[in-house]
Amino acid sequence: MKPWKNMLLSLTVSVGLMASAVPAFAAAPPEGFAQTSVNLNGKKIDYAAGEALVQKGTTLVPVDLTTQALGIKLKDNKNGTVRVTVNGKVVTLEAKSKLIDGIPFVSLRALAEVAGYDVRWDRKTNTVLLVSQATGQAARGFLWEVQNGPTTVYLVGSMHIADDSFYPLRKEFEQAFAEADYLGVEIDLSQAAGEDQQKMILDMGTYKDGTTLKDHISAATYKELGKLLKANGLQANALDKFKPWVVETTLGSLKSSEAGYEAGAGVDLYFIQQAVKKKIPVIELESYESQLGMFNGLSDKVQEKNLKSVIDNFDSIEDSTNEMAEMWKSGNEKALLELTNRVAQDPEYYKALLTDRNVGMADKIEGYLKSGKAEEYFIVVGAAHYLGKDGVLKLLEDKGYKITRK
């Protein structure tokens, strides 16, 4: 496996924690504009630099961030003419974009309707509501069942970043979840943006000894990073305070977001939100601290190698993320196994990302199976944790459990 694809694996089958690693700051609306919030299928769209803007009754939103949130691709925006790709077709918006404080904005309704969303207004909360019209073909995904006496455990292989094309899920997922007494996940991603979690990123992922990124990677890698950041509208030293693993994962998250894949649409977060509605307990197999520690514990050599690989292959990340998404949606177990096995070509990364964590996950799952109670557990972890000689399924089979693909 090419080293840069290791980063993609961490995003798609681990948590992709770094999407919020670089802090954002709210701003007041420009003169002549009011602000409003936008909710997409019940979840607020975070515009980072403020809310959506309202001018003379028209809600205007940043073109780039909103196309990402809606799961469509921005083709181009030339002279105010916005073209987007929806279901493989290029569509030109009737509404023109306009620059506001240097950022292109466009009518939210124009974008939302071509993307297949109904636009509604909640006067009480001053919120625009976008509700998906899409039905789509149910994704195959990865689902297994394990039983021990009266106890049943469903094992779901997640992709932690996704888009609307992943939904609706197959009825087998929904039926199994409907019967669940517990939802198990790697970590509760609904809490990932909390103050304590952000403090952990800063504590682990930044330098405290007066040095910066420039002092810890080669001059050549640092120079190439600076060029990449400037080409994407940032200062060359914008990420200097962060360690290589934070910079690497942040770059990957940003590029995957351009392709429309977001943690907010991930399979595990989808079920976490459903669990909250059903009021069933969410149990964590790992901790936020342990996952950050896994990245932070990688050697300097591996951290720089992964960072350089992402820089060198930055423009290819979108295509490869699309390939992984198709693998998940088609439930292609052979492709998943091949992907998982290739990670082993980097022993240190393989051990940290998969091997060690798989053992802990399998032990916890066995604990649930041994409860002796007529209970059902619905466990959602990254898909790559399940297959291969060191995978969770093999570890459970070695303990004597029979596993059935659903």
Residues 16 and 117 in one domain: no
Task: Give the count of beta carbons closer than 10 Å to the beta carbon of residue 175.
Answer: 11
Residue 57, C-beta contacts closer than 8 angstroms, at least 6 positions apart: none
- What does the pLDDT look like over 276-304, one tens digit per residue? 989 999 999 999 889 889 999 999 999 99
CB-based burial of residue 189 (10 Å sphere; 0-12 exposed, 13-18 middle, 19+ buried)? buried
Number of independent structural domains in the chain: 2
The percent of residues in the chain predicted with pLDDT above 90, rounded, is: 44
Provide mean pLDDT across the span 142-163: 94
Please say whether the beta carbons of 29 and 119 come within 8 A.
Answer: no
Residues 249 and 151 in one domain: yes
- What does the pLDDT look like over 378-390, one tens digit per residue? 999 999 999 999 9
Residues 349 and 269 in one domain: yes
Determine, yes or no, domain membership for 342.
Answer: yes
Determine, yes or no, domain membership for 236.
Answer: yes
Residue 89 has pLDDT above 80, yes or no: yes
Provide the edge-to-edge strand list for the sheet that holds 151-158.
282-284, 182-185, 376-382, 151-158, 142-148, 403-405
Domain boundary among 72, 97, 132: 132
Provide mean pLDDT across the span 154-181: 89
151: closest CA among 371, 310, 355, 344? 371
**What integer pLDDT is reported at residue 313 of this predicted model?**
86
Task: Give the count of beta carbons closer than 10 Å to the beta carbon of residue 204.
Answer: 16
Bridge-based pairing state of the strands 73-78 and 58-62: unpaired
Residues 154 and 303 in one domain: yes
Rg of the chain, C-alpha, whole Å: 22
Torsion, Cα 166 193 20 351, to 10 degrees, reads -70
CA–CA separation, 19 vs 7, rounded Å?
A: 13
Tokens of 202: 């800063």
Please give the DSSP secondary-structure letter assigned to residue 308.
H
Domain boundary among 73, 100, 132: 132
Residues 272 and 378 in one domain: yes
Question: What range defines the domain where residue 152 resides?
Answer: 4-20+138-405
E strand map for 273-375: 282-284
Residues 303 and 341 in one domain: yes
Task: Give the count of beta carbons closer than 10 Å to the beta carbon of residue 166.
Answer: 22
**Residue corresponding to tokens 């297994």:** 144
Phi, psi of 158 (to 5 degrees): -95, 160
Determine, yes or no, domain membership for 25.
Answer: no
Comparison of pLDDT for 102 and 228, the residue scoring more: 228
Helical spans, DSSP H, in 123-194:
171-178
Tokens of 377: 């557990």
Please say whether the beta carbons of 204 and 296 come within 8 A.
Answer: yes
Tally helices (H) and strands (E) across the chain: 15, 17
Tokens of 87: 């279901």
- What does the pLDDT look like over 237-291, one tens digit per residue? 999 999 999 999 888 877 777 777 777 778 998 999 899 989 999 999 999 889 8
Determine, yes or no, domain membership for 370.
Answer: yes
Domain boundary among 108, 132, 156: 132
